[in-house]
Structure 1
Amino acid sequence: MRHLFRSATLLVVSLTLNGPAALAEETETTRNAYAAGYLANFTCSAVFNASKDWAAIQRDELTGIYPLIAEPVAQLEPEINHDEKWVRVAYDDGAHTRLSVWRPRLGCVDLPVGATLASIELLDQPFPHTEVSHQDDGTPWQTNTNALSAAQHQALQQVVDQAFSKHYGSGARTSAVLIANTETILTERYAEGFTPTTAQRTWSVAKSIGASVIGVAVQQGRITVDEPAALENWSHPLDPRGAITLEHLLHMASGLDSNRAGNRTDRVYMGGGLVSDTATEAALEVAPGSRWKYANNDTMLALRVLRERFTDTNDYLRFPYTELLDKIGMQHTFLETDWQGDFILSSQVWTTARDLARLGLLHLQNGRWNDEQILPANWLDYISTPAPAQPATTSPGYGAQWWLYNERFPELPNDTIAARGNRGQFLVLIPSKNLIIVRRGYDVAGEPGFNEHDFSRDVLKALEATQSQ
């Protein structure tokens, strides 16, 4: 794997989930580098993954964001090269720049501090040049105008109306809602300016996509969940991290130090850092499997484990596309990487409501698609089984990179699971009801976001309506 050069060391901020920084330790230069990296990446991805214009990017991607970088982001302006598909942002009065580059299928990659336009040619290019498609015919769902009774339709539309208001959270800003079963899309609505092919960032819903990629590898016999992670960086016989298994990582139970808030990995997300020199460097804090702690690093490490089972980087980069996304029609999904080719599947995925629903459909079909077993037949059971170590009882439970709405939440069926992400991204699956619920949004940081539990509960109530009612 070719290297650009080692990025500057950047400090990581501690932040509570979806909340403001508790202890911001960054220097002004580091914060400015983060802000420029954030602006470069989100502008690049929104333009070239989602075909959004600058006004829409300012409205959606750059408002309601992390307080840490909100102010400096507002003071910066991106340089967008539509022909060569890159975005550059100068900061510190032009002394430094950040650069984000689009690649076919892979979306945008953030180059490290100090990278120049000449660095672009050093990036891996595993796919030929392709344009982003503006078509989605709704395959494999069939149009069925009789799928709902009149009463169900009316009740469901009232719930969807509420989803596009502040009913489910004062900070909620809904961009898309899709509700489907295995046969048909029951209802689908988009905010103005959005269509079925408008991709947006999944944030931590990406973790469940990452688990699905792992599931494909398990089905193909490339890897097993109970085997040691066996990362090269942990290979010394004295290294206690050798006891960490892939399953520990999937369960958010690695035992690794991930600072006060494991959901904040700013150096990778905004700083041009690498998975290989951040996540793999964390020290063991408690025994693997003994503690549940939400940590982006655990997800990135799980995919790093799979990567190290490949001998060729481009083979690895193509694997999620050829073996999962392309097979189920997720053609508007971009799995973004760091500049050394590690997928950032803890957050950095851009996709559409329909593509997320397709992933849900694959799970409701027990991993089978067009007579091919893509995921293990028991994968839905596996990801829905509570991990040995669990979050606090006030939170949903946790399986393998999916949240569990089991007996803790009596208003939903016990088999309800969800992929959940920042700013109100949700993919909810209720197998016993044959139901897929997708909500996308741009919820405002620091305000109550969209409540997916209440929305899912109300969707179920609407579908229970009868013609006589």
Structure 2
Amino acid sequence: KDGKLAVTDKALLPEWRGDTDPRRDISLDDLLRMSSGLAFDETYDDPLADVTQMLFVDGDMARFAAAKTLVAPPGTEWHYSSGTSAIIAAILRETFATEQDYLRYPRERLFQPLGMRSAVLELDAAGTFVGSSFLYASARDFARLGLLFLQDGMWQGQRLLPEDWVVYSRGPARTLPDGSYGAHLWLRLRESEGLGVPPMSEDAYYFLGHDEQIVAIVPSRDLVIVRLGLTRQGGAWDHARDLAPIVQAFPLSQN
């Protein structure tokens, strides 16, 4: 919104800007759509996996992820990576003149206007927002964030997200044939495939968190649903199965 970054920008980090470094061709759009081509092991129950090492061992999470080998040309393959979100947080940091400007930005430009008083974004040891994880907020405050997207980035007459950002975010990543992911948004609940569960709503999209946490945005019902908690047992909670009856209980929007 402030013109600091464009989704077409490349050569995004100093260590990627060498003339012969293939990572210089990674665009912000590639990162937002999990299509950077960088290697990253997202196996949560492996203590030696990249995601575990990044979140709990390495002090500079973004640099840990940014140093990974390029295993596919940028923009050609989809691979979910928490490291990607950490890299984006570091790229944003580079656009600010001072550390205080960077640290104040989420609160001043997003949380305060939305009234998200409970929201806390954790930093890593290097002072960069983690990005992929560790955003804490109440269910009501997460609902405010979902409502911002439902209202196309507008809040009480003020534009908080760039014009057309929601439309852009909901555009499916062309590197993922099933169309289930956009720009850091889930467009379909993949875990219910093969279970005979109908789509919650054809136009719904989602912020999905660890251990079955979710913010579901359903424009056709003018609806936002938040589910927080901790559900590690497989099958104990299924988003589509358990939220679909709630969605269907609300009438279709007249807008």
Report the TM-score range of the alignment, normalised by the length of the smaller protein: 0.7 to 0.9
**Displacement of 1:249:** 0.4
Query: Which structure 1 segments of 5+ residues have no match?
Result: 1-218
Residue of structure 2 in register with 1:101 after alignment: none
Is residue 237 of structure 2 the alignment partner of residue 442 of structure 1? no
Is the Cα contact below 8 Å between 2:42 and 2:82 reproduced in 1?
A: no
Is the Cα contact below 8 Å between 1:246 and 1:305 reproduced in 2?
A: no
The one-letter code sitting in structure 1 at the alignment partner of 2:186 is W
1:449–1:232 Cα change, 3 Å? farther
Residue of structure 2 in register with 1:16 after alignment: none
Tell me which of 143, 153, 175 is aligned to 1:389: 175
Is the Cα contact below 8 Å between 2:37 and 2:72 reproduced in 1?
A: yes
Is residue 99 of structure 2 the alignment partner of residue 313 of structure 1? yes
Tell me which of 244, 249, 254 is aligned to 1:462: 249
Tell me which of 68, 74, 77 is aligned to 1:291: 77
TM-score by length of 2: 0.88
**Displacement of 1:229:** 4.6
Is the Cα contact below 8 Å between 1:264 and 1:296 reproduced in 2?
A: no
Residue of structure 2 in register with 1:110 after alignment: none
Is the Cα contact below 8 Å between 1:367 and 1:375 reproduced in 2?
A: yes
1:380–1:449 Cα change, 3 Å? farther
The one-letter code sitting in structure 2 at the alignment partner of 1:415 is D
Is residue 106 of structure 2 the alignment partner of residue 323 of structure 1? no
Q: Per-residue CA shift, 1:283-304, capped at 9, x if unaligned?
A: 1110011100000011111121
Residue of structure 1 in register with 2:185 after alignment: 402
Tell me which of 51, 59, 75 is aligned to 1:273: 59
**Displacement of 1:224:** 0.9
How many residues are aligned here?
Answer: 243
**Displacement of 1:463:** 2.5
Q: Per the alignment, in what secondary structure is the counterpart of residue 397 of structure 1?
A: coil
Is the Cα contact below 8 Å between 1:280 and 1:301 reproduced in 2?
A: yes
Residue of structure 2 in register with 1:430 after alignment: 218
Q: Per the alignment, in what secondary structure is the counterpart of residue 419 of structure 1?
A: strand
Residue of structure 2 in register with 1:199 after alignment: none
Which has more strand, going by share of residues? Answer: 1
Alignment of 1:371-390 (within 5 A): 371-390=157-176
Q: Per-residue CA shift, 1:345-367, capped at 9, x if unaligned?
A: 10111111001000011111111
Alignment of 1:204-283 (within 5 A): 219-259=1-41, 261=43, 265-283=51-69
Rounded Cα–Cα distance in structure 2 between residues aligned with 1:421 and 1:260: 14
Rounded Cα–Cα distance in structure 1 between residues aligned with 2:25 and 2:180: 24
Q: Per the alignment, in what secondary structure is the counterpart of residue 423 of structure 1?
A: helix
Q: Per-residue CA shift, 1:40-74, capped at 9, x if unaligned?
A: xxxxxxxxxxxxxxxxxxxxxxxxxxxxxxxxxxx
1:306–1:321 Cα change, 3 Å? same
Q: Per-residue CA shift, 1:322-351, capped at 9, x if unaligned?
A: 111111111101000112211111011111
1:414–1:318 Cα change, 3 Å? same
Root-mean-square deviation (CA, aligned residues, Å) is 2.3
Percent same amino acid among aligned pairs?
Answer: 33
Is the Cα contact below 8 Å between 2:185 and 2:207 reproduced in 1?
A: yes
**With CA pairs under 8 Å and 6+ residues apart, which has the higher RCO, 1 or 2?**
1
**Displacement of 1:311:** 2.4
Q: Identify which range, 271-280 or 291-300, moves more after superposition.
A: 271-280
Is the Cα contact below 8 Å between 1:427 and 1:439 reproduced in 2?
A: yes
Q: Per-residue CA shift, 1:124-156, capped at 9, x if unaligned?
A: xxxxxxxxxxxxxxxxxxxxxxxxxxxxxxxxx
Q: Per-residue CA shift, 1:369-395, capped at 9, x if unaligned?
A: 12211102312211111011116x4xx
Rounded Cα–Cα distance in structure 1 between residues aligned with 2:251 and 2:153: 27
Q: Per the alignment, in what secondary structure is the counterpart of residue 61 of structure 2?
A: coil
Residue of structure 2 in register with 1:337 after alignment: 123
The one-letter code sitting in structure 2 at the alignment partner of 1:275 is M
Rounded Cα–Cα distance in structure 1 between residues aligned with 2:123 and 2:8: 26
**Displacement of 1:272:** 4.8
Is the Cα contact below 8 Å between 1:229 and 1:242 reproduced in 2?
A: yes
Q: Per the alignment, in what secondary structure is the counterpart of residue 133 of structure 2?
A: coil
Alignment of 1:13-412 (within 5 A): 219-259=1-41, 261=43, 265-390=51-176, 393=178, 397-405=180-188, 410-412=198-200
**Displacement of 1:264:** 5.0
Is residue 195 of structure 2 the alignment partner of residue 413 of structure 1? no
Q: Per the alignment, in what secondary structure is the counterpart of residue 304 of structure 1?
A: helix
Query: Which structure 2 segments of 5+ residues have no match?
Result: none
1:370–1:461 Cα change, 3 Å? closer
Rounded Cα–Cα distance in structure 2 between residues aligned with 1:423 and 1:256: 25
Q: Per-residue CA shift, 1:61-89, capped at 9, x if unaligned?
A: xxxxxxxxxxxxxxxxxxxxxxxxxxxxx
Rounded Cα–Cα distance in structure 2 between residues aligned with 1:264 and 1:321: 29
